[in-house]
Amino acid sequence: MSLIIIDRLVPAQAMCLADELLGDLPQRWSHTAGVAGRAADLAAAVDPADRDLLLCAAWLHDIGYAAAARDTGFHPLDGARLLRRRGWPARLCALVAHHSGASFLAAAQGIGSLAEFDDERSAVTDALACADQTTGVRGEPVFLEDRLAEVLRRHGACSPHAAAHEGRAPYLRSAANRVQSRLLATATS
């Protein structure tokens, strides 16, 4: 495979790559499509110059689950590394690596390699986390608290998700609150 440098983010290209990689994982694909739809709904919470970045990150956030991406077994890192190998912009790779508070899960699993990607903690990271955490496993809209509870039920009380929950849940709640505040500010301006 040759390296292709992506110099302009086009959500349709991201969607095609997600489809290529996740097409044989129907539930993951449904979740991904739902997250992309939700990100489009939240796009007003980010700078207009970052909206395509948000949509691309939404389409690509879970590609690390694909067999072609598997490296460490930690999907945020695997997806980010695959994108980097394929020439996608560093900022997009970093958003995938750190999506939805992945650093909390990485710490709970003893994975320190996320440091190879910047964690920008911006309006885009907030909107991506909010879109991901308000979309269920089948792509359906869910409330954040319901999604947090579902993740704990699905992964179990002794899982890294449970170990990370104490730090990750407040982070995700704060991100969602910031997104809502930004959306209210844009609606009233």
Per-residue pLDDT tens over the stretch 120-175: 999 999 999 999 999 999 999 999 999 999 999 999 999 999 999 999 999 999 99
Number of CB atoms found within 10 A of residue 19's CB = 13
The segments of the chain whose pLDDT lies below 50 read: 1-3, 5
Q: Find residue 135's DSSP bridge partners.
A: 141
Q: How far apart are the first and last CA of the chain?
A: 48
| In contact, 127 and 51? CB cutoff 8 Å | no
pLDDT averaged over the chain? Answer: 94
Measure the CA–CA gap between 142 and 154, rounded to whole angstroms.
15
Confidence at residue 7, expressed as pLDDT on a 0 to 100 scale = 55
Confidence at residue 113, expressed as pLDDT on a 0 to 100 scale = 77
Residue with tokens 């809502």: 180
Confidence at residue 9, expressed as pLDDT on a 0 to 100 scale = 77
Confidence at residue 4, expressed as pLDDT on a 0 to 100 scale = 52
